[in-house]
């Protein structure tokens, strides 16, 4: 056993195949793109962790598909997505769903995703909640 330990200790360290200055491959982004394509979702813009985006994509797809022939209204989709994110990631999530809308908003860092699904656009974002000080 000791002979084997000595041989392992003498081995040179493994070499990296890429240079130290080259950026690491964006595996999360590639994985997320594959998931979005599989769910027929088109990501438009995001400032959100890939895992949270994946949750939004999968949840939105599940809501739309669960209705069968009768498509849920944009209001129902927005309410369900907002409630899911409020319960999973804390309060102050907002959701807008529709075929045509404009927006100009401020969101918390890491709390914004905009994507389209079956002809609908979905905008999900989080705002900061500050307690109101009593006078």
> Is 108 buried (19+), middle (13-18) or exposed (0-12) by CB count in 10 A?
middle
Q: For residue 6, what pLDDT band results from cuts at 50, 70 and 90? A: low
* 19 falls within a domain: no
Q: Which two tokens stand for residue 102?
A: 């404009």
Tens-place pLDDT, residues 34-88: 999 999 999 999 999 999 999 999 999 999 999 878 889 999 999 999 999 999 9
* 35 falls within a domain: no
* 7 falls within a domain: no
Whole-number Å distance between alpha carbons of 133 and 135: 6
* 39 falls within a domain: no
* 14 falls within a domain: no
Q: Which of 69, 63, 37, 49 is nearest to 122 (CA)?
A: 63
Whole-number Å distance between alpha carbons of 59 and 81: 7
Q: How many domains does the chain have?
A: 1
* 26 falls within a domain: no
* 117 falls within a domain: yes
Q: For residue 134, what pLDDT band results from cuts at 50, 70 and 90? A: confident
**Residue span of the structural domain in which 82 resides:** 44-135
Q: Which two tokens stand for residue 2?
A: 């000791």
Q: What CATH number corresponds to the domain at position 109? A: 3.30.740.10
């Amino acid at each position: 056993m000791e002979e084997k330990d000595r041989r392992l200790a003498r081995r040179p360290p493994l070499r990296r195949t890429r240079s130290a200055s080259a950026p690491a491959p964006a595996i999360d982004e590639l994985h997320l793109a594959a998931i979005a394509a599989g769910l027929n979702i088109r990501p438009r813009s995001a400032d959100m962790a890939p895992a949270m985006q994946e949750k939004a994509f999968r949840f939105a797809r599940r809501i739309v598909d669960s209705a069968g022939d009768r498509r849920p209204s944009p209001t129902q989709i927005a309410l369900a997505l907002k409630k899911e994110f409020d319960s999973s990631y804390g309060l102050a999530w907002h959701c807008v769903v529709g075929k045509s809308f404009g927006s100009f908003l401020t969101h918390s860092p890491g709390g914004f995703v905009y994507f389209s699904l079956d002809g609908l656009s979905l905008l999900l974002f989080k705002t900061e909640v500050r307690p109101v000080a009593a006078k």
